[in-house]
Amino acid sequence: MTRAKLDFVSNSSFTSSQKTELLKVDNKDLSFNLMYWELCAGGSTSREILVYGKAHHEFTYPDNEGWHKGTVPTVFSVLPVLRIKDRRPSSPFQDKELVLAEAIIIDTFLAGRFGLLGDNEWESIAIKTFHSSIHYLRERCFSFVLMVPVELRKKAREDFLDGFMKKFCEDHEYHLKANGSNGHYVGNKLSLADIHLSNVIHFFSMAPWGKMALDRFKQYESLWKVNETVEKVPEIAEWRQSALFKGLEECTVGFYSANGAPEDQPES
């Protein structure tokens, strides 16, 4: 099946220089449409950056029937996809939109737009490095634990929690202590890395084995403090209490239940 595609490469109708000019437009004059699944997973951090930045945004979800027929347009046949338009009535970019793909790129792009990449170039590099490491913790959960035959999931989950996740926590605890155990990865202000860690911890909490995962995270005081710090950010705290977010949580729990080991399923 060939999936419908969104234009990504610059061309004569919307050149790279024109796209660069659109990127210079102030945040308040842009609208952001983020399409991702009805889950708290790969699109969650970008959602929270848009909420935190008080951006003019819309969260949309693919039509399942259209997705299976290939009529939902994407860049690489995966989600998330971010579409950006100029909201100004007199905009020189009428009927034009920027399209971004890949969760890591969208996260870091939005973090730069909304002041979450530190105060200088080195801090930006450090934050992006931590973000990448955190991102792959979740991705390895998918590949190591969820996307394996049912009969292997229990052992895969145990190996993941006591192996890869343990090493991840030890490594990140070391670097967080080096930053003063102040609830942030870099410096003393909120960053992309902080928000991303909290999102991934929350994602694990919704697994059938979520309590085991949280117990392991909580063993590392500096790491857990980052999560607690993010949860207190007013915009994020309000978002996570919203009806929309609760609906995403419910869908995520359902996804996990369908992909857990039989012994992880709740008793009926």
For 155-205, write each residue's pLDDT tens digit.
999 999 999 999 999 999 999 999 999 999 999 999 999 999 999 999 999
- Does 261 score more than 80 pLDDT? no
Mean pLDDT, residues 73-77: 96
pLDDT value at position 81?
A: 98
pLDDT value at position 140?
A: 87
Mean pLDDT, residues 203-215: 91
Query: Which residues 6+ apart lie within 8 Å of 180 measured at CB?
Result: 188
Q: Which residues of 179-194 are buried (b: 16+ CB within 10 A; e: fewer)?
A: beeebbbbbeebbbbb
pLDDT confidence bin for 153, thresholds 50/70/90: confident
pLDDT confidence bin for 255, thresholds 50/70/90: confident
Domains contained in the chain, CATH given: 16-113 (3.40.30.10), 121-264 (1.20.1050.10)
- Does 266 score more than 70 pLDDT? no
Q: Is the dihedral of CA 71, 85, 76, 16 positive or negative?
A: positive
Contact 100, 81 (CB under 8 A): yes
- Does 267 score more than 80 pLDDT? no
The whole model's pTM is what?
Answer: 0.94
Would you give the DSSP letter of residue 186? S
pLDDT value at position 268?
A: 40
- Beta pairing, strands 30-35 & 56-60: parallel
Phi and psi for 59 in degrees, rounded to 5?
A: -100, 120
User: Three-state DSSP class for 56?
Assistant: strand
Chain segment 16-71, per-residue pLDDT in tens = 999 999 999 999 999 999 999 999 999 999 999 999 999 999 999 999 999 999 99
Contact 53, 113 (CB under 8 A): yes
pLDDT value at position 265?
A: 54
pLDDT value at position 152?
A: 86
Give the count of beta carbons closer than 10 Å to the beta carbon of residue 240. Answer: 20
User: Three-state DSSP class for 99?
Assistant: strand
Quick check: bond before 208 cis, omega within 30?
no
pLDDT value at position 2?
A: 84
Chain segment 81-137, per-residue pLDDT in tens = 999 999 999 999 988 999 999 999 999 999 999 999 999 999 999 999 999 999 999
Q: Can you list the positions of beta strands (E) in 119-211?
A: none
pLDDT value at position 262?
A: 61
Residue scoring higher pLDDT (141 or 232):
232
pLDDT confidence bin for 248, thresholds 50/70/90: very high
Mean pLDDT, residues 220-245: 98
